[in-house]
Amino acid sequence: MKDNLFQSFLRPNISAKDRLAQGKSLRKKVPRASLAELRLKTKRQTPVDILLAQAKSRISHYVPIRHARMADNPFAFFRGGAAIFAHDIAKTPSPKISVQLCGDMHVSNFGFFSTTEHRLVFGINDFDETLPGNFDWDLKRLVASAMIASQQLGQDNVYGEAIVRNIATRYRQFLFEYADTPYINLAQSYIDESALTERSVNVSLLSQQLLQKLIGKARKNTNYGVIGKLTEQTPLGSRLIDAPPLTEHVQTSIRGELITDLLETALDSYAESLSSDRKNLFMRYRLIDWVRKVVGVGSVGTSCWVLYLEGQDETDPLFLQIKEAQQSVLAPYFPDSKFTSDGERVIHGQRLIQGAPDLFLGYGRAGRGGFYMRQLRDMKGGISVGQGGIDVKEFPDFAKLFGWALANAHARSGDPAILAGYCGKGEALDDALVKFSIAYSEQNSADYDSFLRAIKSGKMSCATENF
């Protein structure tokens, strides 16, 4: 093994120019125009059946909440339907250019987060489905989500096409920039506040104001900043607020195991995944309280916990999120995984894509499953489309930012020169992605209608209250 590793350091160097040519040559096997195709099987597995199969591995009394959130609108349905999307594009043309895929790429899966050096940066912020695979899977899912989100904002396909083109153009442009970037510099190329300022020459005043608002909100979203929102004073001291069914204190897991026993195993295995210096820091804290929490749309029904720890006293809080890691929806299509657990898979993917993520990012095992852990609030801030988030006027500017962030993620984990060579400097790729996004938005709309019919008929459970 050591000899093989040593030999890899002695391999001949391939210039960026040659790798660009290598990427360009792949167009002969998979023309960029073919990425517009959406080939669905004649006897396609229905979206309802895919969701019902997923429900079998979820906490049963949370599944109706998941379905209710997905039933809210077509975009919410798309967000929860990563497994449906993966099933649908598995037979579409796809160039074999591997990157670390997010796996659930959409316009609401970006946001701000803090690096280990407490540097606020922008990028992808959800990695439950991450796995190595063909780069276009992320790109197709992102542009499809952009078209669907545009329609959710009340806009037509002309507006949606402009959004898709902004994503694709910036994605291509930054791949060419990263293709010539020294590897060390690429590893340190974050989209931080200074980068946003330098690149925002053509950004509207409204978009600049929204960016500053989001940045300010993320900066306040720290362990200290949210303690009053997450905890309340009790005779025993500060404790996490109980708000069932979304946040609740429970004593046993879904399989009847005592939560205290699971947490003991979980924290031991998690600590072993940390480097020695971070383990030393983690061991200075003591566990005070824990609750089970419902999060997201697609993740609803997986086991997720919030842990409240204290250091010196109540003025030294630490909130951690421990989340069950199930098999990636991409696993049936990219099955060659080298990881011992899905928790390790998620952490590996997040580190590759984000570069320097959460100080307490780690993984372990509890009961029969894997999990990953990270800080719940450490300068984290999500971005939503509509409903107080990005609106019609800001979306075009933020679409460019999304394309940039995805290019940064793919360049970190793949070969940006090969990617750039395939994508090219013209609009051939953009044209194909526009056609694909329209086709998939129409398919998503039809699937959403069938999903609602399944709820109405009683085939699928759905919570009646607004959770």
Query: Cα separation of 406 and 383, whole Å?
Result: 15
Length of the chain: 467
pLDDT in tens, 127-179: 999 999 999 999 999 999 999 999 999 999 999 999 999 999 999 999 999 99
Domain map (residue ranges) of the chain? 16-34+44-93+103-220+386-457, 223-375
- Evaluate whether 423 touches 42 at the Cβ level (below 8 Å): no
Q: How confident is the model at residue 1 (pLDDT cuts 50, 70, 90)?
A: very low
Greater pLDDT, 207 or 127: 127
Q: What is the DSSP secondary structure assignment for residue 62, as one 8-state letter?
A: G
Residues facing 142 on adjacent strands:
none
Q: What is the SS3 assignment for 264-332? A: HHHHHHHHHHCCHHHHHHHCCCEEEEEEEECCCCCCECECEEEEEEECCCCCCEEEEEEEEECCCCCCC
**Integer CA distances (angstroms), 270 to 65, 267, 283, 375, 455, in order:** 29, 5, 11, 13, 39
d(CA 323, CA 306): 9
Structure confidence by residue, pLDDT tens digits, 220-230: 887 777 788 89
Give the pLDDT band (50/70/90) at residue 367.
low
Q: Which residue has the tokens 């959130």?
A: 69
Residue 238 belongs to what H/E stretch? strand 237-240
- Whole-angstrom Cα distance, residue 453 to residue 455? 5
pLDDT digits (tens, 9 = 90+) for 67-76: 999 999 999 9
State how far the alpha carbon of 18 is from the alpha carbons of 98, 136, 180, 463, in Å. 18, 21, 12, 56
Q: pLDDT band at residue 338, thresholds of 50, 70 and 90?
A: confident
pLDDT 10s digits, 23-70 = 999 999 999 999 999 988 778 889 999 999 999 988 888 999 999 999
Average pLDDT over residues 385-396: 88
Model confidence band, residue 201 (pLDDT cutoffs 50, 70, 90): low
Q: Does residue 346 contact residue 326 with C-beta atoms inside 8 Å?
A: no
Alpha carbon distance 144, 441 (integer Å): 6
Range from 109-113, 253-257, 286-290, 392-396 carrying the lowest mean pLDDT? 253-257
How far, in Å, CA of 390 to CA of 207, rounded? Answer: 8
What is the rounded distance in angstroms from the CA atom of residue 116 to the CA atom of residue 285? 18
Q: Which tokens in the block code for residue 74?
A: 């077509």
What span, in angstroms and rounded, lies between the C-alpha atoms of 108 and 79? 8
In degrees and rounded to multiples of 5, residue 191 shows phi and psi of -90, 80
Tally DSSP H helices, then E strands, for the chain: 18, 14
DSSP-derived 3-state class of residue 223: helix
- How large a percentage of the chain has pLDDT more than 70? 97
Percent of the chain with pLDDT over 90: 63
